[in-house]
Amino acid sequence: MSAVQELLEHTEKLYDHVKRGLPEEEPDHYFEELNEYIDYRQKLIERLTGNYSSEEKELGKQLVEINKLIQPYLDNQMQEIKGKLMKIRTKRTNNTKYANPYQGNSADGMFFDKRK
C-alpha cells in the first residue's frame, strides 16, 4: 500500500470520527481519539515523497476534498466548546456574586459625594 493510499484511508477514518460529533458524555475520550488520528496522520504526511504516480495524484485530490469536509466539523466543535466554556465562566461568576453579594464594589443606585 502506498503512503498516499494509507493517508487517504486514515483521513477517511478521521472524517468518520469527526462527523459523529462531540459527545455529551466522555468528551475526553473523543479528544484523545481525535489527537491520535491527527498525530498519526501527521506522521503519514511527513513520510510522503514528492514523486507521485497519476493514481496517487487522484488520491491526493480526494484527500484535499475530504480535508475540506473535515474542517467545518472541527470549526463547529471548537465553537461549541467555546460556548460551553463561556457558560461555565458565567455560572461561576454568578455563583460567586450570589455567595458573596457584598464582596465587590458596586455603585448601582448609590451616590458618592466627592466633596469634603
C-alpha cell at 38: 491527527
How confident is the prediction along the chain (116 residues), in pLDDT tens digits per residue?
788 899 999 999 999 999 988 888 888 899 999 999 999 999 998 988 878 888 988 998 999 999 999 999 999 999 999 999 999 999 998 888 777 767 665 556 666 667 76
3-state percent breakdown (helix, strand, coil) of the chain, nearest 5: 70, 0, 30
Query: Is-above-0.75 flag for pTM?
Result: no
CA distance 40 to 32: 12
C-alpha cell at 33: 481519539
Amino acid at 14: L
Q: Which of 18, 5, 1 is nearest to 67 (CA)?
A: 18
- Residue keyed to cell 496517487: 56
